[in-house]
Amino acid sequence: AIGSGPVDATFRAIEAVANSGTTLELYSVNAITSGTDSQGEVTVRLNQAGRIINGHGADTDIVIASAKAYLDALNLMVANVARAHPQEEDNI
Protein backbone atom coordinates (compact mmCIF):
# COMPACT_ATOMS: atom_id res chain seq x y z
CA ALA A 1 0.00 0.00 0.00
CA ILE A 2 1.05 3.57 -0.57
CA GLY A 3 0.87 6.20 2.16
CA SER A 4 2.48 9.37 3.38
CA GLY A 5 4.95 7.31 5.44
CA PRO A 6 5.46 3.76 6.68
CA VAL A 7 2.78 3.94 9.38
CA ASP A 8 0.18 5.41 7.01
CA ALA A 9 1.05 2.78 4.40
CA THR A 10 0.68 0.04 7.03
CA PHE A 11 -2.73 1.33 8.12
CA ARG A 12 -3.88 1.56 4.49
CA ALA A 13 -2.71 -2.01 3.81
CA ILE A 14 -4.59 -3.34 6.84
CA GLU A 15 -7.70 -1.37 5.91
CA ALA A 16 -7.53 -2.67 2.32
CA VAL A 17 -7.83 -6.22 3.69
CA ALA A 18 -10.17 -5.54 6.62
CA ASN A 19 -12.47 -3.11 4.78
CA SER A 20 -13.82 -1.93 8.14
CA GLY A 21 -14.87 1.54 7.04
CA THR A 22 -13.18 3.11 10.05
CA THR A 23 -11.47 6.46 10.30
CA LEU A 24 -8.44 7.15 12.44
CA GLU A 25 -9.33 9.66 15.15
CA LEU A 26 -6.16 9.50 17.28
CA TYR A 27 -2.60 8.25 16.90
CA SER A 28 -0.26 8.48 19.88
CA VAL A 29 3.25 7.11 20.54
CA ASN A 30 4.92 6.88 23.95
CA ALA A 31 8.21 5.33 25.01
CA ILE A 32 7.64 2.67 27.67
CA THR A 33 11.31 1.78 28.19
CA SER A 34 14.47 3.82 27.80
CA GLY A 35 17.63 3.37 25.78
CA THR A 36 18.40 2.70 22.15
CA ASP A 37 16.37 -0.53 22.20
CA SER A 38 13.37 1.08 23.88
CA GLN A 39 9.85 -0.11 23.30
CA GLY A 40 7.24 2.23 21.95
CA GLU A 41 3.58 1.96 22.84
CA VAL A 42 1.10 3.10 20.23
CA THR A 43 -2.52 3.98 20.91
CA VAL A 44 -5.02 4.41 18.09
CA ARG A 45 -8.64 5.48 18.24
CA LEU A 46 -10.84 4.34 15.38
CA ASN A 47 -14.32 5.61 14.57
CA GLN A 48 -16.79 3.40 12.77
CA ALA A 49 -20.10 5.18 12.22
CA GLY A 50 -19.90 6.84 15.63
CA ARG A 51 -18.51 3.81 17.49
CA ILE A 52 -15.17 4.64 19.07
CA ILE A 53 -12.67 1.85 19.72
CA ASN A 54 -9.17 2.22 21.18
CA GLY A 55 -6.35 -0.16 20.33
CA HIS A 56 -2.89 -0.54 21.83
CA GLY A 57 0.34 -2.10 20.60
CA ALA A 58 3.95 -2.18 21.73
CA ASP A 59 7.19 -3.12 20.00
CA THR A 60 10.74 -1.87 19.50
CA ASP A 61 9.73 -1.14 15.89
CA ILE A 62 7.19 1.69 15.85
CA VAL A 63 5.65 0.52 12.57
CA ILE A 64 5.00 -2.93 14.05
CA ALA A 65 3.65 -1.35 17.26
CA SER A 66 1.34 0.77 15.10
CA ALA A 67 0.08 -2.27 13.17
CA LYS A 68 -0.53 -4.12 16.44
CA ALA A 69 -2.53 -1.18 17.80
CA TYR A 70 -4.64 -0.89 14.64
CA LEU A 71 -5.33 -4.63 14.61
CA ASP A 72 -6.12 -4.58 18.32
CA ALA A 73 -8.78 -1.92 17.73
CA LEU A 74 -10.26 -3.83 14.77
CA ASN A 75 -10.35 -7.07 16.78
CA LEU A 76 -12.09 -5.31 19.66
CA MET A 77 -14.59 -3.84 17.22
CA VAL A 78 -15.43 -7.28 15.79
CA ALA A 79 -15.59 -8.87 19.26
CA ASN A 80 -17.97 -6.18 20.52
CA VAL A 81 -20.26 -6.62 17.52
CA ALA A 82 -20.30 -10.39 18.04
CA ARG A 83 -21.27 -10.00 21.72
CA ALA A 84 -23.91 -7.40 20.93
CA HIS A 85 -25.48 -9.65 18.27
CA PRO A 86 -24.85 -13.29 19.29
CA GLN A 87 -27.38 -14.54 16.74
CA GLU A 88 -25.06 -13.29 13.98
CA GLU A 89 -21.88 -15.04 15.24
CA ASP A 90 -22.05 -17.68 12.51
CA ASN A 91 -21.77 -14.93 9.89
CA ILE A 92 -18.51 -13.46 11.24
The answer to whether residue 91 is domain-embedded is no
Number of domains in the chain: 1
Burial of 70 per CB tally in 10 Å (0-12, 13-18, 19+): buried
Asked if the model's pLDDT at residue 32 lies above 60, the reply is yes
The verdict on residue 1 lying in a domain is no
Give the model confidence (pLDDT) of 69-88 as tens digits.
999 999 999 887 666 566 65
C-alpha–C-alpha distance, residues 38 and 49, integer Å: 36
Q: Does residue 92 fall inside a structural domain? A: no
Residue 79 lies in a domain: yes
**Is residue 14 in some structural domain?**
yes
Instruction: Enter the pTM of the model.
Output: 0.84
Mean pLDDT of the chain: 90
What does the pLDDT average to over 38-66?
96
What is the domain-level CATH number for residue 79? 3.30.160.270
Domain assignment of residue 56, given as a range: 6-86
